[in-house]
Amino acid sequence: MDTWLRTCLLLCLYGFFKELRPSEPFLTEYLKQPPMNLTDDELTYEVYPVWTYSYLSLLVGVFLLTDLLRYKPVIVAEGIGYVITWSLLLWARGVPAMQFMEFMYGIATSTEVAYYTYIYAKVAGKFYQRVTSYTRAAILTGRFLSAVLSQVLTHTGAMSYHDLNYVSLASVSVAFILACLLPSVSTSVYFHRQQYYVPTSEGNSTIQLSPVHQGQDGSGDGASGGAGGGAEGCQQGDFCFFS
């Protein structure tokens, strides 16, 4: 199996399992019944707003850190956030604990951007259309099966709302393990570009190539042309920077 395809498969499995959370559609019902016993006012005014504001405040920083940290640490943080979220739902009680749960959920959801951008730093531009469709399909498949599974298990009486949280915790735990297995990224689009020095008639010219120009799996479709022929190697749509 090609390196780019193996990496894409691992990322797609991560995306599928992190979205397979059948307890999520029934979160409100679960929090209102024993053993949680939260009221509508507590949920509306004290618990749920924590996610809204934490997600909003974290999102800006995550956009910068995702590229600076080169994607994988942020993906791992997303997995940790989901594991802690569902652990709290299963074993924590009270409004403060659920507020902290919502904060961890805000961390997990705000770091989702790393999932969508990681693959572009690992594969060559010629594979972008394919990996985009694969990673997006994995997310949607996970959400679809999660919704179907939650409805089937609850309507047949096979599982209670509480039991569904165990399924969600198992799924996000698998996703966390897969996140740790993802290969690291040595370059990124903005902060960690690759540099090539091309001799010209006026001296050496530095070309900075982002991963859009060359994938780290060595299957770049434009880097050899860029390194060998200066500006002629940069194709339309590539990110090429000259100094």
CA distance between the termini of the chain: 38
**pLDDT for position 235:** 46
Mean pLDDT, residues 180-207 taken together: 66
Return phi, psi of residue 189, to 5°. -70, -35
Structural domain ending residue among the three candidates 143, 159, 181: 181
Residue 139 lies in a domain: yes
- Residues 84 and 177 placed together within one structural domain of the fold: yes
CATH code of 85's domain? 1.20.1250.20
**pLDDT for position 221:** 47
- Flag the least confident range among 73-82, 164-173, 184-193, 204-213: 204-213
Provide the 3-class DSSP secondary structure of residue 195. strand
**pLDDT for position 192:** 57
Distance from C-alpha of 81 to C-alpha of 110, rounded to nearest angstrom: 10
For residues 72 and 204, the model is more confident at 72
* Percentage of the chain modeled with pLDDT above 70: 77
Contact residues for 195 (Cβ-Cβ < 8 A; gap 6+): 206, 207, 208, 209
> What is the per-residue pLDDT across 135-180, written as a single tens digit (0 to 9) for each?
999 999 999 999 999 999 999 999 999 999 999 999 999 999 999 9
Mean pLDDT, residues 182-191 taken together: 78
- Residues 101 and 201 placed together within one structural domain of the fold: no
Residue 84 lies in a domain: yes
| Count: domains in the chain | 2
- Flag the least confident range among 46-55, 112-121, 182-191: 182-191
**pLDDT for position 121:** 87
Mean pLDDT for the chain overall: 85
Structural domain ending residue among the three candidates 181, 206, 222: 181
- Residues 176 and 199 placed together within one structural domain of the fold: no
* Percentage of the chain modeled with pLDDT above 90: 69
pLDDT of residue 224 exceeding 50: no
pLDDT of residue 233 exceeding 90: no
Type of residue numbered 88: L
The residue segments making up the domain with residue 236 are: 194-242
Structural domain ending residue among the three candidates 158, 181, 204: 181
**Is there a contact between 95 and 184 (Cβ–Cβ < 8 Å)?**
no
- Flag the least confident range among 64-68, 119-123, 205-209: 205-209
**pLDDT for position 84:** 98
Packed helices 3-19 and 128-155: angle between N→C axes, nearest 10 degrees: 30
Mean pLDDT, residues 204-233 taken together: 47
Strand partners, 195: 208
Alpha helices (runs of H) in the chain, residue ranges in sequence order? 3-19, 27-32, 40-42, 48-68, 72-91, 95-110, 113-118, 128-155, 161-181, 223-229
**Is there a contact between 39 and 32 (Cβ–Cβ < 8 Å)?**
yes
- Planar angle of CA 106, 113, 190, nearest 5 degrees: 130
**pLDDT for position 19:** 98
Category of 69 on φ-ψ map: left (φ > 0), alpha (ψ -120 to 50) or beta: alpha
- Residues 131 and 44 placed together within one structural domain of the fold: yes
- Planar angle of CA 77, 189, 71, nearest 5 degrees: 10
Does the pTM surpass 0.85? The reply is: no
**pLDDT for position 79:** 98
